Chain A
Amino acid sequence: MRILSLADFAVLTVAAVAALYFQLSLPGRLPTEGDYRGVAESLAKESKNGDVLLLYPWWAERARLYVPRSLPVVGYLGSDTNPLRDFPRIWVLAQPNLPRSDIKAFERRFIPGRTALGSPRSFGNLQLSLYRNGLYRPAVFSAAAEHPSARVYIEEPDHRQLDCPFDGKVHRCPGPEQLRVDQEWHEVLYEPRHCLWMHPPGGPRRLVAEFPSAKLGERLTLAAGIVGEYASRRQPELTVTHVVVEELTSGRRLLEIAIPPGREGMQQAETPSQLQLPSSMALKIWVQSDNPALRETCLELFSDRSATP
């Protein structure tokens, strides 16, 4: 028993010394305001239009206070594996000295498909690196960005159309305020998405957005999800949300997503790679759910192509 108690004494003493070291050294592992200002100055000088700043750890977003407003900042649970297809270059702002920081593990997730452009630079406890994004695929069409040119209406089961006039920013439909089409910021499974808000009107009715001449690249992709915490709800009265893309003239279904209650995150569908898309097409996208309650739908429809070197 005495030996055990002596062992306790040793364990407690070692733990106390280690804990004291941790507590006293922690402030020294954090970046200062000066470190952030140094990073901000470098980014202001060196960043280009189309760059993005990725944070590691994903939650360490204090940089948002300092970096140039023109530079999008990405950091959310899961952002390490975001392909960031819209951005040819990625700045990574890392804090490798934070407790539980594992920069090597981050690099294992992040590096594939990326090429470092130069060596990392240190600003105190901040580390700034620049990468060429090999996963970059420039978009030739984005329904969210081009929604002002769309024709929006609610389609009744008898094919009558209730127009949703564009007020210069938003397409507003008759009925509840949520029946609108606009590019908005929403969260889908923690990820901020600047997506197309299209709330189903309920019953067999559809909310429709028509794009008479959508430019097409190598593939057409539809992504849709239910916003925020509503996605997790599974009440029996909730119904599946259908998001469908059709060719406007022929009515041929190109892409389709069904989001059942409880399904979180963006669901995605894209045209098969062997399908040759024309350079432009008239498209129609519609959203429908029998019960519109808690079916706050946000979607992206885009077409992209490979980046030319």
Chain B
Amino acid sequence: MGQGNCGQWRRGIDMPAPDLLADLARLPGSSRTIGGTVVERSLTPSRFSRALFRRMPEIYPTLIYAVEPQPFTDWLEGIGLANQLTTTFATNSSFLTGTSSVTEIVTNYSTGIFSATVPPLGSFSTMLSTSHMEPPNILATSVSVPLSGIGASLEVFTPMSVLRRSALSILSQGEHEDIDFGAVSMFSRGVSSFIAREGVRAVYALIETLRAKPPSFTVLGELLRELGRLPHKPSHDLRKKLLLQYLQSSSVLVRHVAATGLAELDDPSAISALEDAYRQVDSGRLKRHIMRVLQQLRGTAGCLAS
């Protein structure tokens, strides 16, 4: 399913504010299919989505605030969102009257989740979500996050506070583990399963935790290697941006492991940043290391070009 399926959903139900989904579908990004009912769409939560968000009541005058009605707050409680939502909209004609042609637009400033949900459609509900979370300070520019359509599942809404606690726990585990060279450690398993389970938001949680409580250099080194080698496409760009940020560290050791992570990522789009980093080092191990990484990525670029 891709963007075309968004249109199909619109045609299949009586949706009071269909243009919203159309606007969502127009957000920049790429789509891919996961199974039969799940669409994953990468987009950039740039000014576009944030501006759309702020103008919601103006663009969709039929939307009303919907935090008051008891059925809605019960529903929020049931999915664990009641304490997080700061602003909630629903359509005037549908959700509150309990009909099946419902569009709800849920905004959550604290976790950065913005979703439009269309339940139920046949035997499953669909949900589109995107994040408008401000990138952490370490990320100066906008980042890509997935836009997911998930049948009935609301796991995407695992609260960020919970994710941050998980991230902290994983990093603490790394501090207490004597990681053998070339072994699959509990730490590396923890990082990879965390991201596989929670997706891009797990990477955000790790970034926030790294900023709040920097780990030892040893753990950071293992983490950046792991972030580089994970085969998780939706978070690829975010992980790359994180590695590139660390490549600009004042510490030669941190730059070293960031370059190692970029070698694991093997993305030729990091070449120019690595060339800059190479020029900024006079001599020594770091310069040689970056050159090796550059040689690998240039080779990869050559392979891709051919």
Tell me whether A and B are bound partners: no
List B residues at the A interface (Cβ < 8 Å): none
Binding site for B on A (CB under 8 A): none
